[in-house]
Amino acid sequence: MEILELAAEVIDFVAVCLLLAGIVMATILALRECFWSEGSWAERLSGSFLITFRITLGRWLLAGLEALIVSDVLHSIYRRTLEEIGILGAIVAIRTALAYFLDHEITRVEERDEAARKQQESAK
């Protein structure tokens, strides 16, 4: 059981690292698009950098949430009380729902962004 506890703690740490890396990467990519992409300031500040931020952060959040779900499953193996398993079940359900809706939001934002790009290209 100690091995399972250690594995769960390592996965928790990896999940936190994924979440932190997501914030850093999303910020870097959004700033790069805002300051170093082509086009006027009005075009750059029109929101494309926010879309980049949301999509990038969303992908990293999904990875972190999935790692946390794996960790929760491992925790449920060595935590045997009904109350603890119930709490873990609720946490897994919430994280799964968050991951599901976040995935759909990312897909919608990507589709909207692609449609806007095609519209801009056809207008040129």
* pTM for this entry: 0.72
Domain residues for 16? 2-123
> What is the pLDDT at residue 64?
92
Burial class from Cβ neighbours inside 10 Å (0-12, 13-18, 19+) for residue 5 reads: middle
Report whether 118 contacts 109 (CB < 8 A).
no
Q: Is the pLDDT of residue 118 over 80?
A: yes
Please give the angle made by the CA atoms of 26, 31 and 34, to the nearest 5 degrees: 125
> What is the pLDDT at residue 44?
64
Average pLDDT, the chain: 84
> What is the pLDDT at residue 120?
77
When divided into structural domains, the chain yields a total of 1
Report whether 30 contacts 52 (CB < 8 A).
yes
Q: What is the pLDDT of residues 79-112, one digit of tens each?
A: 778 887 888 888 888 888 888 888 888 888 888 8
Q: Is the pLDDT of residue 11 over 90?
A: yes
**Which residues contact residue 93 at a Cβ distance below 8 angstroms, ignoring those fewer than 6 apart?**
none
Q: Is the pLDDT of residue 9 over 90?
A: yes
Distances, alpha carbon 118 to alpha carbons 54, 112, 123, in Å? 20, 10, 9
> What is the pLDDT at residue 47?
67
